[in-house]
């Protein structure tokens, strides 16, 4: 039961065809909500030591442009791009420095999105969205992702 609840996906309101019947917030309620959000956020005079937003956006832009150019070239060559829902399983290897990542993506139910579960070296990765920090430790790691 615990594992079922751990990986159960809440239904998105965007997937519903039902009409919206929720109450709209009044100006006072929006101000109250804004104050509660501001109170919940930690404020520090020290700068964030993470990556800059501009750097992350530039990296995202480069990845999206590369994907666009690759897909355009494939289409121009007359090749077919199949959706991920048509792939029951695929495997790939990734080298990160001295580490090797053996990645298996399973799609037994032919879905086009969503991670049902993921494991790294047989340990469950419960965080969503799925994030994996690659380490350069000379080891071989096994990442298994099941869509659904």
Using the predicted structure, report yes or no on whether residue 139 has a pLDDT greater than 90: yes
- pLDDT tier at 127, thresholds 50, 70, 90: confident
Using the predicted structure, report yes or no on whether residue 95 has a pLDDT greater than 50: yes
Quote the pLDDT of residue 106.
92
The Cβ-side half-sphere exposure at 99, using a 13 Å CA radius, reads 13
Distance (Å, rounded) from C-alpha 124 to C-alpha 115? 12
- pLDDT tier at 2, thresholds 50, 70, 90: very low
Is residue 66 within 8 Å of 79, Cβ to Cβ?
no
Q: By three-state DSSP, how is residue 143 classified?
A: strand
- pLDDT tier at 114, thresholds 50, 70, 90: confident
Quote the pLDDT of residue 1.
37
Report the 10 Å Cβ neighbour count for 147: 21
The CATH class for the domain spanning 83-148 reads mainly beta
| Mean pLDDT rounded to a whole number for the chain | 81
The pLDDT tens digits of the residues spanning 51-90 come to: 788 888 898 999 899 989 998 998 899 888 877 778 888 8
pLDDT, average across residues 35-46: 82
Using the predicted structure, report yes or no on whether residue 120 has a pLDDT greater than 90: yes
Buried b (16+ CB within 10 A) or exposed e, 110-125: eeeeebbbbebeeeeb
Quote the pLDDT of residue 129.
80
């Amino acid at each position: 039961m615990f594992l079922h609840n751990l990986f159960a996906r809440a239904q998105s309101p965007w997937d519903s065809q039902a009409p919206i019947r929720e109450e709209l917030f009044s100006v006072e309620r929006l101000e109250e909500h804004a104050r509660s959000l501001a109170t919940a956020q930690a404020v520090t005079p020290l700068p964030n030591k993470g990556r800059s937003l501009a750097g992350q956006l530039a990296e995202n832009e480069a990845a999206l442009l590369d994907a666009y150019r690759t897909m355009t070239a494939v289409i121009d060559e007359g090749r077919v791009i199949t959706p991920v829902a048509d792939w029951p399983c695929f495997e790939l290897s990734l080298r990160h420095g001295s580490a090797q990542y053996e990645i298996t993506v399973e799609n037994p139910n032919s879905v086009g999105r969503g991670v049902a579960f993921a494991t790294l070296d047989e340990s469950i990765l419960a965080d969503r969205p799925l994030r994996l920090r690659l380490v350069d430790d000379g080891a071989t790691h096994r990442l298994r992702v099941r869509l659904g």
